[in-house]
Structures are given as structure tokens and as C-alpha cells.
């Protein structure tokens, strides 16, 4: 709408991506801050609260009455702010909205099933959830594969030219990226605000990378690929604003949890951003905390199946530190610091090619 107004009323300022990204940020922030307290009250009155996993550390039992599904609010705020701010004819922006909607629906179904049965493990069956994620990721991957101005080249950090044209394999690769990132953020969302700030850090990095990739002059200077994806930075900025508003209520002690409707959607969106910006490998650094959390689960499960021994006291790894009696705030802030530092390294790597 804002882009349409810029052309209709000849307001050049609204034509700039950076201006509309800033507007989208504050619109999503306002929507979230306005709606979240009302959602929290409604959830408390209707018992839409978080069921606690029986295997979780004892300190989590005090969180049993905390409302969940906050992701519905901030994802909704993101989509609304984005639709107001983006150029609706940009196919990459529409692909981003599609990704948000598809995975928010999966997360909502999972959250609702848990709340209805009042049991943390009573959501969608693992196979059902994975199947829905696969179908959604495949839809997004096929959408990108069929765009005429997008390619299937694979780029790696520090090398200016693509190392391989994946062809049809790109579809498989992109599906894996989206599903893996979606589940990685979901695993990280175990403490108050733990997944929120690393997500904000990752979105900041991707917003910068996408803006550069969408700008012919800057991308040429930095020897990066160029695609018309600049509008997606506006959606990324909107999600940053929405997450900032959510963090206001999600910081320790949390008044609301994002639930799978938030974490699965954020992860899938980060995967989408990595794909369109040709930063799939760089995603390992940008989302380092998510990678560490996922690897801790893989190591724990693999070690127990092969050796009948556990590597950690509990997985994901943030629970390991809880079992070692670290204060929750200490775990959260230290993970935030690692995430911010890893994203700084990722951004520095853009100039080293």
C-alpha cells in the first residue's frame, strides 16, 4: 500500500526500501504491543496455557500457567505490517508471506492440540508434523525453482563465485534447509526469550544481506549475487519489530510463550531468507545457537542409541546447563552473546571474498 501511495501521490520517500522497512518495523511493533496484552488476558481466562513436559527440569513447573501461542499474534502483526509496506508485485516478497502463513498454520495446529489435551507431548504426531513441514517446504522450494530470474547456484563464504549449480537437487536442498531451520529454532525455544534474541540477530544479518543482494551497485562492489529481493528485507524488518514487541512480554519471567506457531514459523522464514540470499552455508554461522542446540539433541540421541550413554545431562543443551544449576538468566544472556558475536562474524565475512 505504501509503495502504491508513493507512485500515486509522487512521494519519493515511500519508494525507498529502507524507509518502508523502518515503517514496517514500527507498525509490527505497535500491533504486537497493542494486541499481546489482550491476547494474554484472553489466554489466561480461557486456559490457553503451556503444558509442561514431564521430563523438563523441576523449575519449569512454575511456568505451567503461562499462556502460549504468542506466535499467532506476532506473526499476524508481521504479515499485516508487511502487506501495508511491501510492493505486492514482488514475487520474492509474496514467497516470504507464503512461507510465514504455511508454517504458522502448522505451528498453530500443534499448539492447539497440546492445549486441548493439556499435555506437552500431545500435539501433532512427529510424522504428521514432519509431513506437513515437508509439503510446505516443497511448495516454497518449487515456487522459487520456477522463478525465471532465480538460479540454483550454491555459494559458500569467502568465495566470490558459485561452486556448483545444483539443478534439480536445489529443490531437495532447499526443502532440507527450511525444515532443518524450522525445527532448530523450535528446539531452541525452551527458556524465556532464549530463541527470541538469536532470531532478532539472525533477522538483522539477513536483512542487511538481502538489502545488499537486492542492490546492484552494492552487491557488485562486494562481489555478491544480485536478485530483486530487496522487498523481502521489509518483511524481515517487520518480523524484527514484532519480535521486539513480543520480547517485552517474553523476557524472564515470561508472561507468554511463542509456541510452535512462532518458533516453527521463524525458523522456516530464516531458511527462506538464507535460500533467496544465497547464504545457505552462511546460515550455519548466522544461526549458530540454533545449530548448537540441534547438534546437542543429535549427539544425545545418537550416543544413547549406540552406547547407552548420555553426552549431556539433558538435551537440548540449555537444559544441560539448567541441570548444572545455572541461573536461567545466565544461560539466556550467554546464549544471546554467542548469537550476537556469531552474526557479527557472518557480516564481516561478506567483505572477505
pLDDT by residue for the chain (353 residues), tens only, comes to 666 666 666 667 777 899 999 999 999 999 999 999 999 998 888 776 656 555 555 555 566 678 889 999 999 999 999 999 999 999 999 999 999 999 999 999 988 887 776 655 556 888 999 999 999 999 999 999 999 889 999 999 888 889 999 999 999 999 999 999 999 999 999 888 899 999 999 999 999 999 999 989 999 888 888 999 999 999 999 999 999 999 999 988 889 999 999 999 999 999 999 999 999 999 999 999 999 999 999 999 999 888 888 988 898 999 899 889 899 999 999 999 999 999 999 999 988 87
The answer to whether the CB of 289 falls within 8 A of the CB of 335 is yes
Radius of gyration of the chain (CA): 20
The pTM of this model reads: 0.93
Closest residue by Cα to residue 199 from 34, 14, 52, 340: 340
Instruction: Tell me the β-bridge partners of 165.
Output: 153
Taking CA 344 as the corner, what is the angle to CA 342 and CA 173, rounded to the nearest 5 degrees? 60
Instruction: Tell me the β-bridge partners of 67.
Output: 49
Output the nine-digit C-alpha cell for 353. Answer: 571474498
Instruction: Tell me the β-bridge partners of 154.
Output: 164
Amino acid at each position: 500500500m505504501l509503495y502504491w501511495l508513493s507512485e500515486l501521490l509522487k512521494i519519493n520517500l515511500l519508494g525507498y526500501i529502507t524507509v518502508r522497512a523502518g515503517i514496517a518495523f514500527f507498525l509490527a511493533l505497535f500491533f504486537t504491543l497493542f494486541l499481546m496484552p489482550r491476547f494474554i488476558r484472553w489466554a489466561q481466562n480461557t486456559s490457553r496455557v503451556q503444558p509442561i513436559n514431564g521430563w523438563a527440569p523441576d523449575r519449569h513447573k512454575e511456568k505451567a500457567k503461562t499462556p502460549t501461542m504468542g506466535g499467532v499474534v506476532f506473526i499476524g502483526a508481521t504479515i499485516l505490517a508487511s502487506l501495508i509496506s511491501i510492493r505486492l508485485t514482488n514475487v520474492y516478497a509474496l514467497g516470504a508471506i507464503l512461507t510465514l502463513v504455511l508454517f504458522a498454520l502448522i505451528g498453530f495446529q500443534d499448539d492447539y492440540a497440546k492445549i486441548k489435551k493439556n499435555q506437552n507431548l500431545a500435539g501433532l504426531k512427529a510424522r504428521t508434523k514432519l509431513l506437513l513441514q515437508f509439503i510446505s517446504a516443497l511448495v516454497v522450494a518449487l515456487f522459487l525453482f520456477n522463478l525465471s530470474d532465480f538460479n540454483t547456484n550454491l555459494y559458500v563464504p569467502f568465495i566470490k563465485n558459485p561452486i556448483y549449480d545444483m539443478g534439480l537437487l536445489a529443490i531437495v536442498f532447499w526443502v532440507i534447509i527450511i525444515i532443518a531451520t524450522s525445527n532448530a529454532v523450535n528446539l531452541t525455544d525452551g527458556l524465556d526469550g532464549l530463541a527470541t534474541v538469536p532470531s532478532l540477530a539472525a533477522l538483522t544479518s539477513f536483512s542487511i544481506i538481502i538489502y545488499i543482494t537486492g542492490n546492484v551497485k552494492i552487491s557488485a562492489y562486494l562481489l555478491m549475487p544480485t536478485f530483486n529481493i530487496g522487498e523481502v528485507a521489509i518483511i524481515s524488518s517487520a518480523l524484527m519489530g514484532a519480535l521486539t514487541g513480543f520480547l517485552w512480554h517474553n523476557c524472564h519471567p515470561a508472561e507468554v510463550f511463542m509456541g510452535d506457531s512462532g518458533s516453527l514459523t521463524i525458523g522456516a522464514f530464516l531458511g527462506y531468507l538464507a535460500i533467496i540470499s544465497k547464504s545457505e552455508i552462511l546460515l550455519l554461522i548466522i544461526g549458530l545457537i540454533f545449530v548448537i542446540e540441534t547438534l546437542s539433541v543429535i549427539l544425545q540421541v545418537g550416543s544413547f542409541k549406540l552406547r547407552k550413554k548420555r553426552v549431556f545431562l539433558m538435551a537440548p543443551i540449555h537444559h544441560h546447563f539448567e541441570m548444572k544449576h545455572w541461573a536461567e538468566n545466565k544461560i539466556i544472556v550467554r546464549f544471546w552473546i554467542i548469537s550476537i558475536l556469531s552474526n557479527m562474524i557472518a557480516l564481516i565475512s561478506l567483505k572477505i571474498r
